Structure formats: structure tokens, C-alpha cells
A and B are shown apart, each in its own frame.
Chain A
């Protein structure tokens, strides 16, 4: 990389517009929220008198808030579930599509389709599917397994998993695209020579492809983790965090506190907590993935 010293004004011109937009319309509100999370107030945020209490809100959340830990647990479950299901699925689909099958474009479009839909549409479709008289139960009855029918979104033992599956359904196609972009850059010769030398498929995948795709893999993992923790719309429309808070996650709880339960200060604290939690995760991922990508 060069140090384009003489072109400093150009560099500034490149950076400033974007940074200013981002800084004023986005970063500033975030900093505001972080700052406000150290205060306590009741009522409307714009008029209420705010009292500085430092970490007070956070201490309340950890110690006395009735649903914070439930929400946190569900969020972690959501995150782990999404990672374990979405990433391999996206990867496998990408592998399949890259293996020279017919109708690649067709499947590409089909698998990406769910990502294109809005959260409202997705949630409504899946409400249909999970309904006691919906797709899944009807199908079970059809194949004679009516004993397994359930109220998928109402039963606390199944509902959070049901929500994970919706996220997987919507996101796998997008991950597939990301993986494909990386797979395409792997020269066919390398894969060919492996095959000739008698390497079994799974060896090729794990010893060659994944290491070569390592930056993409890390990007995808980070992406899935962050998005699952940030996820709100779909959960809200599907269950509102219910029934009886069984599917409450950090984002829905933040929303409830701020809008329905007249606890704006604590809502802000949850929001800041989410941000800090994700920040921590990203840092951890970066440290753990310190591995040079394979040069070729």
C-alpha cells in the first residue's frame, strides 16, 4: 500500500461525505443512547428529568429485572441455533450449486427468494405454517403422525426453536450467495488435482475449501451472530415475545420496556447492552480467527 501523501485532500474528499452522513445520522444517536443508559428517568424521554446513576440501570437488569435473563438466554439460543443451522446449510447449498449441476440459476433464485421478502411477509407466512391448523400439522396428519401435532409457537418447548428455523429459512440463501462468491474464486485446477489424487469429497471440503474460504467463513459467522442478536421484526410479528415472555429476546424486551412498560431508562440500558454484547462477540471472533488466509 502506498502512502499517497500529496493526495491528502483527495483522501479527505473520499472519506468525509460518508463519514459525515454516518456520523450525524447514525453514530450520534447511538452515542446518545449509550450516554442516556447511565441515567434514570420516567415518562417521556424528551421532557423527563434525568438522574445520573452510572451503572444503576445495568445493575437493575442483572439483579431485579424479571425477564432480562430469560431474554438473554433466548438470544444466545437464537444465536447458537442460527449458527449451527444456517451456516452449514448455506455452505452445503453453495457447494451443491457450485458442483456443476443443471439449472444452477434456477435454484440460485429459488434459494435466495426468502431473503428478498420483508419481515412482515415472512412472519405472516410462517404464522400460517405454524398454526395449529397450519401446514406442518396438516402435513403430519396427512402422513399419519397426528400425535406429533403441536401448537408450535405457543408451546414453550418448541417455540423458540420454531423461530430459529424461520431465521434459517430466510437467511440461508443469502449465506449461500456469499459462499458462492468465494467458491468461484477457487481455481478448478486445484480441486481437479485433488480429485485425481484420490481425495475423498469431505477431505477436499475440510482440508482445502474451508481453509481457502476462511475470510468468507469468518464474515459469514460474524454476520449470522450479529443478525440473530439484532433480530426483532420477525419475532415480534410471530409471537410478540410471548406467550408469557417465553420467546422474549433482548431486542423485544428492550422494545417492551421502552414502549409498553414505561421504563425508558432500562430500555436504553438493554439497547446499550445489546450493542456491547455484540461488540464483545465480534472482538472474540476476530481474536479466535487469527489465521492467515491461504495464498494461491
Chain B
């Protein structure tokens, strides 16, 4: 009986979570008039050309390249810098670690729009408006609070025994970090990778304000090209959405396995 209820709940949840995506997929094959006309139905004919049209019209090829490049560089630096800060806060007894922690994690509370103007102004002052470089720097800075928040609590929960052992073995701080803490933190690092990937890949507002050229556009910007003055070209936009989701899904699937492995390995040890 229990099993049955659980199964039912799962099935219901599954439908609720997945159906909107399936709906998007269906709409992406429709013609504009079919969108509101026959809402639930399958399209008369599958308009595969929507995908190639969306690709061309939205300059998605370039956008992909830009988004990937930006996201990967951002990911790398965000994780490394945050891990280093978290390590010090979690493990090293320095005088102002509490203040430091509060200072960094306070950033989690800031809505992006609040700092939009100062960020944009600084870009111009530095002569870096419309550069990927500045955008990446802002992304890296913006992701640090959240990651430090996550990583510190994780690192704090790692039993100190292994690290103590490494010190006894004669390791310095850096070696302890690279040989013990980091490997043990794999699950949180991979989870962070997923979070930062999604975060910078999907970011729209700052990119819209900091990037002006067609050739520099990121995927979210490319998507916004389908929003017209008065309405939205749903078939093309949904096609573009589906196209843009594929990498994120792929990354998630890839990393999710490793996250699982990391988690279960940790559990066995504990």
C-alpha cells in the first residue's frame, strides 16, 4: 500500500515537473497559428525548419560559442577562488574569519538589478564595455558568495582526522588543501560546477547591459531576439529554448553521475 502511494505521488510529480518541457517541445514544431489554435494537439505537420530558422535568425551558433567560453572560464575561476576562500574560513584559524565569512556571504543577498548601474558605469570607466572579459569578471565575483556559502559548510562537516593526519605527515597548508580537502570535497565541487554552469549560462540581465555587439551575444540574449515589439514568436522561441537546454542537460547528466559517486563514497567512509 505504501509503495503504491509513493508510486502514485512520484508519477504525479513527474508529470508536473516534466510536462511543461514537453509542451515546449511540441510547440516548437508548430506553425505560429497553431500555437493558440489547437493548444494540446500535436502539430499538423512537424515544422522541423523552425529549428534551423531559429538557429539562423538568433545567430545561435555564435551565441553557443560565446556562452560556452564565458561559462567555462567563469566556472573554473569561481570554483577555485571560492574553494580557496572557503578552505581558509573552514579550516584555518585566523583572527577575522567570521567577519570574512559574513562579508563574502552577504553577497548572496543582493539582487542583481540593484548593482546594475554601478557595474555598467565601471565597465565604461575601465574602457571595457562590450567585452567578454569584464562580463566574466563580474560573473566570477557574483558567484563567489554563494559558492563560499555552500563550500564552507561542506568543508566544515568533513571530519578533521584525515587533515590532521596529513599535517602529521608533514604537509604544509597548500598540500593539505590539494591532497586532502579538495579530493574529499569532490561532491560539493561538482555540485558547484553544476550550479555555476547553470548560473552563468542562463544569466540574462548583466549580459544584456554589458554586451552590445551581435557577435558577442550569449545564448539568453539570442533567445530574447524572438520577443517582438508586441508579441513573441512562440514556435521559433521554443525551438531556440530546446536547442539551448541541450548543453545544460548534457552537463548535468555528465556531472550527476560523478556527484552520486562522490556522495556514496563519502557515505561509506563515514
- Interface of A toward B, CB cutoff 8 Å: 1-4, 7, 10-11, 14-15, 17-19, 21-22, 24-30, 32-33, 45-46, 92-93, 96, 99, 101, 105, 107-121, 124-126, 128-129, 133-135, 138, 169, 173, 177, 180-181, 184-185, 187, 215, 219, 226, 229-230, 232-233, 251, 254-255, 258, 268, 271-272, 274-275, 278-279, 282
CB-defined contacts of A268 to chain B, threshold 8 Å? 114
B69 to A: closest C-beta gap in Å: 18
Known contacts A125-B24, A271-B114, A17 near B81 by CB under 8 Å: yes
Distance between Cα atoms of A19 and B9 in the complex (Å)? 46
Q: Which of B114, B205, B248 contacts A233 (CB 8 A)?
A: B205
Known: A46-B121, A110-B18, A279-B106. A26 touches B142 (CB 8 A): yes
* Known interface pairs A21-B137, A110-B17, A111-B13; 18 further A-B residue pairs with C-beta atoms within 8 A, sorted by A's residue number: A1-B93, A4-B92, A14-B173, A15-B84, A18-B84, A18-B144, A25-B138, A26-B138, A92-B9, A109-B252, A120-B223, A121-B244, A129-B20, A184-B266, A185-B263, A187-B267, A271-B115, A282-B109
Q: How many angstroms from the CA of A11 to the CA of B96 in the assembled complex?
A: 12
Determine if B42 is an interface residue (Cβ-Cβ < 8 Å). Answer: no
Q: Does B170 contact A (CB under 8 A)?
A: no
Asked whether A96 lies within 8 Å of B9 as measured between CB atoms, the reply is yes
* B144/A251 in contact, CB under 8 A: no
With A29-B119, A101-B6, A215-B157 as given contacts, are A181 and B111 in contact (CB-CB < 8 Å)? no
Main secondary structure, interface of A, reads helix
Q: Report the tally of A-B residue pairs with Cβ distances under 8 A.
A: 236
Q: Which of B140-185 contact A (CB under 8 A)?
A: 140-142, 144-145, 148-150, 153, 157, 160, 167, 172-174, 177
Could you list 25 examples of A-B contacts with CB < 8 Å?
A4-B173, A21-B137, A27-B107, A29-B118, A105-B260, A109-B256, A114-B20, A116-B198, A116-B248, A116-B252, A119-B202, A120-B220, A121-B245, A124-B232, A124-B237, A128-B20, A134-B39, A169-B20, A226-B109, A230-B110, A230-B111, A233-B204, A258-B117, A268-B114, A274-B114
Name the contact of B17 in the complex, choosing from A15, A24, A111, A181 (C-beta under 8 A).
Answer: A111
Which residues on the A side are within 8 Å of B167 (C-beta)? 2
Evaluate whether A117 and B245 lie within 8 angstroms (CB atoms) in the complex, with A110-B17, A134-B39 already known: yes
Interface of B is mostly: helix
Q: Which residue of A lies closest to B77 (CB)?
A: A21
Inside 8 A of B141's CB, which chain A residues have their CB? 21-22, 24-26
Contact for A125 among B21, B122, B137, B150, CB less than 8 A: B21
Chain B: residues with CB nearer than 8 A to chain A? Answer: 6, 9-10, 13-14, 16-21, 23-24, 27, 36, 39-40, 77, 81-82, 84-85, 87-88, 91-94, 100, 103-104, 106-115, 117-119, 121-122, 137-138, 140-142, 144-145, 148-150, 153, 157, 160, 167, 172-174, 177, 187-188, 191, 198, 201-202, 204-205, 220, 223-224, 232, 234, 237-238, 241, 244-245, 248-249, 252-253, 256, 260, 263-264, 266-267, 270
